[in-house]
């Protein structure tokens, strides 16, 4: 089944299990090594009934910690797809997996109607019945005007063609729940002399579908996105995303998970937005020396998927460059929400226990505002701590 990976590359050292937040929170998950490379030896003989793999949150801490460079999480995601292939997909996994399509269908509906329809007691009760825990946080749809501004953004006519062009891959969370983040990033890039486009042909990155075992649907979105990104690359247009999970999925996971006959060939890089902005700041293309200090104490959380990209703490490093900013890297593990993982019944308690160490550590900093590149993390942190959370580039945009 795994056309690129050999399970024998795993030395069974169990480092991945030690660093797995889900394995630490529940015995129902046998750990990334056992459900991934170890059980793959049985899957090669056609055995796929390993229900434990459904508890993997795909946080990538196993990949980050593996001393042998084994893509443990990829084994687990492909194993989940094989496990789900001949089983009925739960309605909750369909709702979360196709959340990007649902958001696209609702793109012209006012936020107050969407949020009331999603969060009123009757709706939460019904969602709980289908498997989305009523205690879990749900993000709120942004005002319709902001969603439309981001989706319809075009470079100012006076600047078009005068500078480099970059394309924004906003991702579902920013597109529907926090378009202000996308607009702030556009503002920063335009200050640096870029023309910014938001192509309409981008689809959901497919990560929620992959995590739900819906491999075929995820593959369709992968093919569509790669085709568009390669087209842009041929024109010399870089693609950036404010969501580390989208950047990881599109930039790396597509080639790891899908065979070439599905996604085609050719490089399709996607740059994480904070890392891209940090680079142009250090190059002197974006001058932030006059940035005003952000009031209050900040707590920074590095998302798991950002760490999996292996690019350090770009948002943290940017804000540290602003004179007078007081910011602390909490460095206390996963938030537990993991996309939609912590929203699901049977997973909510696992997510809450996983995130408790982070939430306690944030509380000990005395911070007034939390900062993280990941929208899911920001949702989980606000729910777990009661503190507001922001994207670091939004803070930078307001400081300039």
Checking if the pLDDT of 2 tops 50, the result is: no
Q: Which architecture characterizes domain 7-84 according to CATH?
A: Orthogonal Bundle (1.10)
CA distance 79 to 90: 17
- Helix, strand, coil % in the chain, rounded to nearest 5: 55, 5, 40
Task: Provide the whole-model pTM.
Answer: 0.92
End-to-end CA distance of the chain: 51
Question: pLDDT (tens digit, 9 = 90+) per residue, 27-48?
Answer: 999 999 988 888 887 777 777 6
3-state secondary structure of 95: helix
Which residue did the predictor score with more confidence, 20 or 262?
Answer: 20
3-state secondary structure of 328: strand
CA distance 16 to 72: 8
Question: pLDDT (tens digit, 9 = 90+) per residue, 347-368?
Answer: 999 999 999 999 999 999 999 9
CA distance 105 to 172: 12
CA 115 from chain center: how many Å? 22
Pick the CATH number of 289-399 from 3.40.50.1860, 3.30.565.10, 3.40.50.720, 1.20.1600.10: 3.40.50.1860
Say which residues have a Cβ less than 8 Å from residue 8's Cβ, sequence separation at least 6.
none
Question: pLDDT (tens digit, 9 = 90+) per residue, 77-136?
Answer: 988 888 888 888 999 999 999 999 999 999 899 999 999 999 999 999 999 999 999 999
Q: What is the pLDDT of residue 247?
A: 95
Q: Could you tell me which CATH class the domain 144-277 is placed in?
A: alpha beta
Burial-class residue 388 by CB neighbours within 10 Å (0-12, 13-18, 19+): exposed
Q: What is the pLDDT of residue 4?
A: 58
How many helices (H) and strands (E) would you count in the chain?
Answer: 24, 8
Contact assessment for residue 16 and residue 32, using Cβ atoms and an 8 Å cutoff: yes
Which of 74-78, 205-209, 257-261 tops mean pLDDT? 205-209
Question: pLDDT (tens digit, 9 = 90+) per residue, 304-350?
Answer: 999 999 989 999 999 999 989 999 999 999 999 999 999 999 999 99
CA 65 from chain center: how many Å? 19
CA distance 170 to 155: 16
Q: Where in the chain is the domain with CATH 1.10.1060.10?
A: 7-84
Contact assessment for residue 219 and residue 255, using Cβ atoms and an 8 Å cutoff: no
Q: What is the pLDDT of residue 43?
A: 78
Contact assessment for residue 196 and residue 235, using Cβ atoms and an 8 Å cutoff: no
DSSP output for 27-59:
TTS--HHIIIIIHHHHHTTT----GGGGG----
Tell me phi and psi for residue 326, to 5 degrees.
-110, 105
């Amino acid at each position: 089944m795994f056309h690129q990976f050999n399970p024998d590359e795993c030395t069974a050292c169990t480092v991945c299990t030690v660093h797995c937040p889900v394995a630490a929170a529940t015995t129902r998950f046998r750990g990334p090594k056992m459900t991934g490379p170890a059980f793959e030896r049985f899957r090669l003989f056609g055995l796929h009934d390993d229900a434990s793999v459904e508890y993997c949150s795909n946080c990538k801490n196993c990949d980050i910690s593996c001393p042998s460079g084994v893509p443990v999480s990829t084994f687990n995601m492909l194993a989940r797809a094989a496990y789900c292939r001949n089983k009925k997909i739960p309605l909750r996994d369909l709702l979360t997996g196709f959340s990007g399509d649902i958001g696209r269908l609702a793109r012209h509906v006012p936020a107050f109607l969407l949020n009331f329809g999603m969060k009123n007691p009757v709706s939460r009760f019904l969602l709980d019945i289908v498997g989305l825990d009523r205690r879990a946080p749900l993000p709120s749809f942004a005002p319709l005007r902001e969603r439309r501004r981001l989706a319809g953004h075009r470079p100012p006519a006076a600047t078009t063609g005068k500078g480099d062009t970059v394309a924004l891959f906003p991702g579902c969370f920013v597109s529907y729940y926090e378009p202000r983040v996308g607009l702030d990033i556009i503002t920063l890039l335009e200050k640096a002399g870029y023309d910014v486009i938001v192509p309409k042909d981008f689809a959901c990155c497919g990560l929620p579908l992959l995590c739900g075992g819906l491999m075929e649907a995820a593959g369709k979105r992968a093919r569509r996105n790669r085709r568009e990104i390669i087209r842009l690359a041929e024109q010399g247009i870089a693609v950036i995303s404010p969501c580390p999970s989208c950047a990881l999925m599109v930039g790396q996971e597509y080639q790891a998970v899908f065979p070439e006959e599905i996604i085609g060939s050719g490089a399709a890089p996607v740059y994480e937005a904070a890392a891209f902005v940090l680079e142009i700041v250090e190059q002197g293309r974006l001058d932030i020396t006059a940035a005003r200090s952000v009031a209050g104490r900040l707590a920074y959380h590095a998302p798991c998927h950002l760490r999996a990209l292996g690019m350090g703490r770009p948002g943290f490093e940017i804000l540290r460059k602003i004179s007078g900013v007081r910011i602390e890297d909490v460095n206390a593990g996963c938030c537990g929400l993991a996309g939609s993982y912590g929203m699901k019944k049977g997973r909510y308690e696992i997510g809450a226990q996983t995130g408790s160490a982070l939430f306690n550590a944030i509380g000990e900093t005395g911070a007034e505002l939390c900062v993280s590149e990941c929208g899911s993390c920001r949702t989980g942190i606000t729910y777990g701590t009661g503190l507001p959370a922001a994207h670091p580039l939004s803070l930078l945009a307001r400081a300039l």
